[in-house]
Amino acid sequence: MTVSSRQERRSPVMADVARVAGVSHQTVSRVLNDHPNVRTETRTRVLAAIDQLGYRRNLVARALVTRHSRTLGVVSFDTTLYGPASTVYGIEQAARAAGYFVSIVSLRTIDRAGVREALDYLAEQGVDGIVVVAPQRSAASALADLPPGVPAVAVEGDHGGDVSVVSVDQFEGARLATEHLIGLGHETVWHVRGPLDWLEAEGRIAGWRAALNMAGRPVPEPLPGDWSPRSGYEAGRLLARIPEVTAVFVANDQMALGVLRAFAEAGVDVPGRISVAGFDDVPESEFFSPPLTTVRQDFGAVGRHSIAMLLKQIEEGQARSRERFVVPPEFKVRASTSSARR
């Protein structure tokens, strides 16, 4: 290979942009950093040279100059589940819209040691801030180990901690679903809960129980679930054998799918004999049989508010803040719920 061929294949650098645009190296730098003291015609010429050459700025060099990597870290858990996966997607889209790259660490299991290792890894990468999707108590407690001086926000975290938190109002969503079923004339509402360590499951149980207590209705013992359709199916088989069951609030749509399957196999008409409501509004829920009444979570809003909160800390030079933002849920009524039979 000749010297000239190696030169032809090298990536363009800032000096090449300056040469093609007929400006100085410093002027190209000012354009790249969006400096206001650049004439419009000069800026246009530099941008045209960048496009012509296919120039990509050196992010490492930029970070050394600005002391910002333009990268945010995200720690998440079990992105095979609809809620965590949608939350991470919302965060990533909001970060990209704000001009930031995202580095994601996904943990198979959440424990304090694992979260601490993920946080240390991201801090070593020089991220400007960290978002931790902390749906479990074990993850929320690990936030105490955040590296000092690193801006951070928790999503679905413990509102009693020392880190800013963005979350959907799980209590309110469960209350809306339960009150809807009570309003249809059902004497009480049974519940298939999520895993006990999950903060979302706790909020949904609390909202369900509060609505029943407020209406003066009996509160049945919740049936255990683990967010999977299989656990919903097992709960549905039990519920189908209890004659007094006329309404069920299920803590997520995937378990509700299992409940519906069990009811169909047992010959239980939905909503004729038993009404079923879920939580999440997964894309498939309107195509369940019957279409599922459920609670929608706005994961896009969660992403936007968490990134806005984090960027505020970064821009203001705050090591940490204790802001709280709660995203309201939206209740979606479909064909899986109806009036109680008299």
Asked if the domains 14-57 and 170-297 are classified in one and the same CATH topology, the answer is: no
Classify domain 14-57 at the CATH superfamily level. lambda repressor-like DNA-binding domains (1.10.260.40)
43-47, 76-80, 131-135: segment of lowest average pLDDT: 76-80
Q: Which CATH architecture has domain 68-168+299-327?
A: 3-Layer(aba) Sandwich (3.40)
pLDDT of residue 68 exceeding 80:
no
pTM: 0.78
Q: What is the 3-state secondary structure (H, E, C) of the chain?
A: CCHHHHHHHCCCCHHHHHHHHCCCHHHHHHHHCCCCCCCHHHHHHHHHHHHHHCCCCCHHHHHHHHCCCCEEEEEEECCCCHHHHHHHHHHHHHHHHCCCEEEEEEECCCCHHHHHHHHHHHHHCCCCEEEEECCEHHHHHHHHHCCCCCCEEEECCCCCCCCEEEEECHHHHHHHHHHHHHHCCCCCCEEECCCCCEHHHHHHHHHHHHHHHHCCCCCCCCECCCCCHHHHHHHHHHHHCCCCCCEEEECCHHHHHHHHHHHHHCCCCCCCCCEEECCECCCCHHHCCCCCEEEECCHHHHHHHHHHHHHHHHHHCCCCCCCEEEECCEEECCCCCCCCCC
Cα 269 to Cα 38: distance, rounded to the nearest angstrom: 70
Find, among 73, 70, 168, the residue nearest to 115 by Cα: 73
For the domain covering 170-297, report its CATH number: 3.40.50.2300
Domain ranges of the chain: 14-57, 68-168+299-327, 170-297
Q: Taking residues 16-31, report their average pLDDT.
A: 86
Q: Which residue has the higher pLDDT, 22 or 51?
A: 22
Q: What is the pLDDT of residues 201-258, one digit of tens each?
A: 999 999 999 999 999 999 999 999 999 999 999 999 999 999 999 999 999 999 999 9
Q: Residue 30: what pLDDT? A: 78
Q: pLDDT tens for residues 71-100?
A: 999 998 777 788 888 999 999 999 998 889
Is the pLDDT reported for residue 9 higher than 60? no
Report percent pLDDT > 90 for the chain.
55
Question: What is the tens place of the pLDDT at every residue in 169-196?
Answer: 999 999 999 999 999 999 999 999 999 8
Question: Lowest mean pLDDT: which of 51-65, 114-128, 141-155, 199-213?
Answer: 51-65
